[in-house]
A and B are shown apart, each in its own frame.
Chain A
């Protein structure tokens, strides 16, 4: 075990643990936000740069500070490491800049986006972004595409976290989509009109931190905050069958994996559970799902904005 201090809080973790996961062990406000890292996907992380933190002491053995901010999701802790996250103004300023970069080409179409209310980027912007935009340049745009009959790809909203690529690589048997092109021309795509179709493909919807990949069986049916989530399960031969069903009255509007407070699913679920089981009789309902995430909407931030104005 090694000891590390994050924002003045000590924690002991196993060797090889990343700063981010050490922070998650402490929990609460000092956990850096992560838009691309996903603990269940090997190789994920390092790309969005929202989790950058400052290392003011490298380790007991080598106390020198690290010269640049480091990605907490991919930097392993050393014994005696001292890290600043929310206690560093530099980190917070940089995070604000990163949010600005991520929003630069992101359409502000939250009012018509199915992800609104459970969108990591929405929360990130609210918590860390600036209320003013400094860009007057036109945004990058792409055609919307259906990747099969159940999943809609809305590339304009994508922040290129690569999570859906890792998901297809690691939990399905064949990957047909990936990141194409280069630089600011990068896009998620199949190149030729290819159908993403296998038993677990629907999970790319759950791992998407924004509204780039959405469930066409749920599309425009309801805003998420008008639906009531319940833990439910069924005996499924393909997956654990443990899901969240999202109800409007007695109608199941959609089925998703069970997400933890960091927006990560506890277990990946199969497409049959997700897309085809929409009757109450398909499920054994357990209990209302408490959504642990710190959502802008769950905290009624938007109501406050409506009341007092966005800069109030």
Chain B
């Protein structure tokens, strides 16, 4: 069994209550931090840990924190990004639903680290039932003196509020989220200025993913150096991988970064192999936006080395033969899967979720969906495939926010690796 940091106690009965959580050592890191450490110490430990953002971009968390203007007396905010909406990704929901206090503990430490006294948990509106679990946990934390004025008798005060969205994937993008939190349409902002300088209500703001901050208590309890020993190279620690599709055991797994993809798919500890004894055809390894890889390239890199679940190994080979760890949404497809139909559902998703603000994304995503619809109906031709590729290339890199790239990559990679499938005529039944 590999090390468990986030899932250590997730199966314990009643872990969602303050009492049980506390009995098992919960909130110890807050005591340690508030009594013996300065905010800078926390930032330093997190830097040492090598922890990288678990929302998809993989940006070093400690470094992100050091960008913010922490001048005392000036408002600044920490926002917990719980707007998990990337198809294939359901790890944050799992964590929030079953171990809500871990998130709050991580949030307290992180707010202390950047000296923020107000924090919002932006949770997707469909997850109202999870929000109620979080609200109950927050209430308990207030009642036990871990939130509110002068926490544990120190001069650090913190208020946390839950804020639901109302179904818009784009609000997972940092500035789309901020706009939404300000009661507006979730149109991402132009950058610069970046949120660390000018974010929520015009104040410096840090936005972190749920899983990222839930890791911080362990780092404070055990030290950043200890954390950095787990994992492989610059991919330190553990990562939640949410696995779905044609596998025997779909679910959320905490893996040590560096685990081989082959073991993850076939071992009984994880996915337990392909369903119904079928063969593996393709995997989308990091949420719907990352490039799809055929079986041979997801199991081994183009150089013939085993592919590992780490930031570096998954991106080995660039977008030619590699992909990305992304948010850890691991979608497995068996030999009978139509890659093109699956792609159509992704493209339809991005068309549906585009905010419509900038022209390449608004027009391009809709155009790609129309062409894919025609192809799926058997009415496509070679020129359509080239046109699709061209549209994707023209969207990529030219939009206000990364949604454009997210819509382009699945199309580009599906054509690159499965071009032949685009012209298969549908069976006439």
Contact = CB atoms under 8 A, between A and B. Distances in A.
A233 to B, nearest CB: 37
A76 B197 CA distance: 16
Contacts of A41: none
Interface in B379-404: 387, 394, 397-400
A183 B190 contact: no
Given A46-B400, A98-B398, A135-B367, A159 B359 contact: yes
B122 to A, nearest CB: 18
Interface stretch (A67-75, A200-208, A240-248): A67-75
Contacts of A179: 185, 356
B365 interface: yes
Contacts of B370: 137
B399 to A, nearest CB: 7
Contacts, number: 85
Contacts of A184: 351, 354, 356, 362-363, 365-366
B355 interface: yes
A52 B366 contact: no
B354 A183 contact: yes
Contacts of B352: 183
A171 interface: no
Given A49-B399, A69-B397, A69-B398, A183 B365 contact: yes
B356 A160 contact: yes
A98 B168 CA distance: 25
B356 A182 contact: yes
B424 interface: no
A97 B394 contact: yes
Contacts of A68: 397-398
Given A46-B190, A74-B190, A135-B367, A97 B360 contact: yes
Interface string B234-268: 00000000000000000000000000000000000
B152 interface: no
Interface residues of B, number: 28
B100 interface: no
Nearest to B373: A137
Interface string A96-111: 0110111011000000
Nearest to A93: B394
Interface of A is mostly: loop
Contacts of B192: 75-76
Contacts of A105: 363
A45 interface: yes
A181 interface: yes
Given A98-B359, A183-B355, A185-B356, A47 B400 contact: yes
Contact of A47 (B353, B357, B394): B357
A74 to B, nearest CB: 5
Contacts of A97: 360, 394, 398
B394 A181 contact: no
A101 B364 contact: yes
A48 interface: yes
A185 B363 CA distance: 10
Interface string A175-187: 0000101111110
Contact of B190 (A52, A71, A159, A182): A71
Given A71-B190, A183-B365, A94 B398 contact: yes
A101 B364 CA distance: 7
A102 B398 contact: no
A49 B365 contact: no
Interface in A12-67: 45-49, 52
Interface in B326-376: 351-360, 362-367, 370-371
A311 interface: no
Contacts of B185: 179, 182
A182 B366 contact: no
A307 interface: no
Given A69-B397, A134-B387, A48 B356 contact: no
Contacts of A75: 192
Given A97-B394, A183-B352, A46 B358 contact: yes
Nearest to A138: B370
Nearest to A43: B190
Interface of A: 45-49, 52, 68-69, 71, 74-76, 94, 97-98, 100-102, 104-105, 134-135, 137, 159-160, 179, 181-186
Interface of B: 168, 185, 190, 192, 351-360, 362-367, 370-371, 387, 394, 397-400
Given A49-B399, A183-B355, 4 more contacts: A52-B398, A100-B394, A182-B353, A184-B363
10 contacts: A47-B357, A47-B358, A48-B358, A48-B359, A49-B358, A71-B400, A137-B370, A183-B354, A183-B355, A184-B366
